[in-house]
Structures are given as structure tokens and as C-alpha cells.
Amino acid sequence: MMGMAKVVVALGGNALQEAGTPPTAEAQLEVIKKTCEYLADINARGYEMAVVHGNGPQVGRIVLGQEIAAKQDSNLPAMPFDVCGAMSQGYIGYQIQQCLRDALRNRNRNIPVVTLLTQVVVGEDDPAFKNPTKPIGPFYSEDEAKKIAEEKGYTMKEDAGRGWRRVVASPTPKRITEIDSVKRLWDSTIVITAGGGGIPVIENMDGSLTGVAAVIDKDLAAERLAEDMETDVLLILTEVDKVAINWGKPNQKALEHITVAEAIQYMEEGHFAPGSMYPKVFAAVKFARRFPGKKAIITSLYKAVDALEGKEGTVITMA
């Protein structure tokens, strides 16, 4: 795989779970099989890649299941939030790993695929811990959300017009602890890493690590990975083919190629929802600013190959 262009692919929620389908492992596996066909196409077009995925709905359901089980049986204590994050990273990674391997083999590409359980260091004093913003788990009506907030003390917020969800802290990723292992594997293996943004940990004075209750934004974790690996492209896949300003309004406008300065202006003008498009554009800006001459792309899973070939998506560059 040496000599190929390098890309970090960040998978959005629609790449793992289809709206309106039951949230079962079997239903998710069927969606991931389709997703991996597109990922295999990216590799077949001449790209080395690593894959980062989200885990918002999945980790929320794991936490909920743990809480329900603990209420039913004292011998089944609920696991801490960081452990639930590790669980989600493991089972989602397993499904992508299995399906991507098969999709590659069907293209006569016998490339190893591995899932690397990944810890990501965050700051203990990160202001995000005082202002939770990262949505997890299922959607609720406003009345249901208020009841859950009263009963469990959760912070519930409206999520981009789609309903109400529980939100947790979303601290900034500072360092991927297993990055050296990713670097060793890169030239021979497709690595699924920093799943769900990585398991958030703080680094203690003695160098040891301690898990914390948070969810790191997967787009920012993917950007951190892309910086560390100095990739050619950061490819952020979501539900729409292009980023748009004035979303949902008569003057909605799709963006094809914008500069970092233009993206920042649109962000400041409030065009992008905090729990939806904003972190994607923010991550793209961060990457393009770090590597003038390289690009970040935001597009849909289904247009990923076209976007890499310059035919689709929103491209963000320094100039």
C-alpha cells in the first residue's frame, strides 16, 4: 500500500444505522455491509486509509441497558461511562472490520483490517465538562426529555430539529495514546481507530491514564488522527452531499469549494448546527489550516469516491 494517497475517513451515523430501522446488532450489520462497499471502493481507487466512526446512539443504548439491568438485579452493576464507550468501540469496530475485509476480498484485495481499541487524552480542566453538548442515545419528545432530566439528572437538549437527546461533555482531543501503533500498521493494514472519538482519558501526574465520562466528537478525533498521520485528505462523511448555508430556508445554498476564512465566517454567522454540521466544518477548517495545500472534504457516504475525484462534496482548503 506504500506510495498511495492517504486519507482518514470519518463515518457519520447514517453509515452505521438506517433511520427508522430497529436498533439491533443485526440491522446495524446490514447497514455496515453496504457502507463497507463504499469504503472498499475508496481503497480500490488508490487510497491508503484509516477509518474513524461515531457511536452516539450505540453508547447511549449501552448506558441505558446497563442502568436498566442494574435496577433489575444488584448483581449486575452498571459499568462506568468510559467502559460503555469501550464496549461500543469494540462491537462497532468488529462489524466494520468483518464487513470491510469481505468487501475488499471480493475485489481481490487481501488487505488486513484491524480494530484498535483507542484511548484519547483530554484535559481534566476542559470547559466542555461544564457545558455538555454531545448528543448520545435515542431521540425523545420534549415532554419525555424533561421527565428523564428530572428523574436521572441528565442534561437534555434539542438536537438540530430532530428531537431531544441526552448530552454529555465533548472535550477536545489532545492526543491519541495508541498513535505509534497506528503508524506501525498504516502501510500494511487498514486500521479502524478512535472509534466513537476514542475512549476519553485524562493523564495523571505519574503518566497513568484514567477514563472519564464524556464522548469526544468523532470528527475532531479524525482530524487529530489526520494531523498525526499527515494525510493528504480528511474525508468527513455525513448524510448530505454538500454543506449548505441558510439550511432549510428558501435561500439555501450548497457550497462546493470554500476557503478556511469563508468557512470561519459562515460558522460565526451561525449557519451550522452545534450538534450536527458545526463540528464537521470546524474539524475541516482545523485540518486545512494545519496543512496548506491539502484539503478536507465533507460529503455523503454515497458520493465519497466522486468527492475524492473532485466531482462532489464540499472542499475546504486554506486558500
Catalytic residues: 13-14, 134, 218, 280
Specify which residues 294 forms β-bridges with.
292
Cell reading at 170: 465533548
Q: Are 215 and 198 in contact (CB under 8 A)?
A: no
Distance of CA 255 to CAs 21, 107, 113, Å?
31, 34, 34
256 phi/psi in degrees, rounded to 5: -100, -50
CB 10 within 8 A of CB 235: yes
Cα distance between residue 218 and residue 5, in whole Å: 22
Query: 213 — alpha (psi -120 to 50), left (phi > 0) or beta?
Result: beta
